[in-house]
Amino acid sequence: VVLADCLGICLVDTKTNIFSIIHAGHRGTRGNIGVNALKQMLSLGANTRDIKAVFSPCISALNYEVSQDFANGLDKLLGDALAKVFFQKNSKFFFDLRTANEFLLRQAGVSEIVHMNACTFSDERLFSFRQNKTTKRLGFCALKKTP
């Protein structure tokens, strides 16, 4: 998947090797794309207790400035967690893609989540659309064949 500053999520059932790779930007997060992908995996025979999630680098909360009305409707999806993922600092508003998606997946029963905590905006080794208008970031999942 092409990611720019968005969060890439790889969900893998470690027993069945059923997997999903997800582009979780703000629209996908609002649409609960991670949990929807999880439901598709379960319909194919995956089991929530065997699923591991890996989160790619993405724009960090402190660099993801959004409008004040960005939070409209998110309270229904995130409930009390909204206060942890949408916040104000120095009259600007920010959103935490990583924490929002982690909350949603944990709520759906995924307990093992690994983060690659680099920020695409501030880490010069990574590409960032907000930083330099480039979308040169791809996400992928690779499964190791077991003997």
Mean pLDDT score across all residues of the chain: 88
Where is pLDDT greater, at 134 or 51?
51
Up-side HSE of residue 14: CA atoms within 13 Å toward CB? 9
pLDDT, tens digit (0-9, with 9 covering 90-100), for 98-128 = 999 999 999 999 999 999 888 888 777 676 7
Taking alpha carbons only, the member of 70, 5, 9 closest to residue 36 is 9
Coil, strand, or helix at residue 42?
helix
Could you give all domains of the chain from N- to C-terminal order, each with its CATH number? 7-132 (3.60.140.10)
If 0-12 CB within 10 Å is exposed, 13-18 middle and 19+ buried, where does residue 131 land? middle
Q: State the pLDDT confidence band at 137, using cuts at 50, 70 and 90.
A: low
pLDDT, tens digit (0-9, with 9 covering 90-100), for 34-73 = 999 999 999 999 999 999 999 999 999 999 999 988 888 8
Radius of gyration of the CA atoms of the chain, in A: 16
Q: Give the model's pLDDT for residue 28.
A: 94
